[in-house]
Amino acid sequence: MIIILLGPPGSGKGTISEQLRREFDFFHLAPGELLREEVAKQTTIGKEIKKYIEQGLLVPDNLVVEIVRLELHGKQKVLLDGFPRTVAQAKAIANLHLDKVLLLQIPEKKVIERFSGRRVCTKNHGYHLKYLPPKHPDTCDKDGLPLTARKDDDPKVIKERFRVYHQETQPLIDYYQKKNLLTVVDASLSPPEVYTAVKKSLFEKA
């Protein structure tokens, strides 16, 4: 089973993925997290990746596709979060059987509000000061590491990420709609309501 989660930055893909992973034991594949791990390791490729992420740009398709291919190998029940992000990436996995593509739809204004409270530890455990608060605002519940805002949550970078989303990722919506795989979920509702809507749509026919 392969489920794709699409949506603009800040639409809650990571949170929904984490909930689905816990409840249904999905393998959660988020290239953004893997890319950030590579950056943290300060490898040569990590340094290259960093430049794209910090400017709000997409990392080149071939690199991301390669990472995803390696990670997908042998997995049965997969949740793709933040991949594909371009039609070229979608075409690169066109040989896979996709069960559903969920689009988390949300107005840009709401996203800006969400970004301002987002926090992450160096091991990529994510929180939101308002919607998913850690027990202590500056410390990760899971490993006690300090929590900080992501560099790419800076308002200027967010603006660029939206531009890239509209330009590169929006065409994917048409792509999957034509394949009759797309279901739209209103992601501006409260997190429990969004999660209920996501589960409902997962068990409905596309």
Q: Which of residues 145-174 bind ligand AMP (CB under 6 A)?
A: 152, 161
Among 7, 8, 12, 31, binds ligand AMP (CB under 6 A): 31
Instruction: Enumerate residues 52-81 that contact ligand AMP by CB under 6 A.
Output: 52-53, 56-59, 64
| Helix pair angle (31-40, 44-55), 10° resolution | 120
Name which of 96 and 136 has its Cβ closer to ligand AMP: 96
Q: Which of 4, 6, 39, 83 binds ligand AMP (CB under 6 A)?
A: 83
Write out the binding residues for ligand AMP, residues 115-144 only, by CB under 6 A: none
Is residue 138 within 8 Å of residue 147, measured between CB atoms?
yes
Which stretch in 30-38, 109-117, 128-136, 192-200 sits in contact with ligand AMP by CB under 6 A?
30-38
Which parts of this chain interact with ligand AMP (CB under 6 A)? 9, 31-32, 35, 52-53, 56-59, 64, 82-85, 89, 152, 161
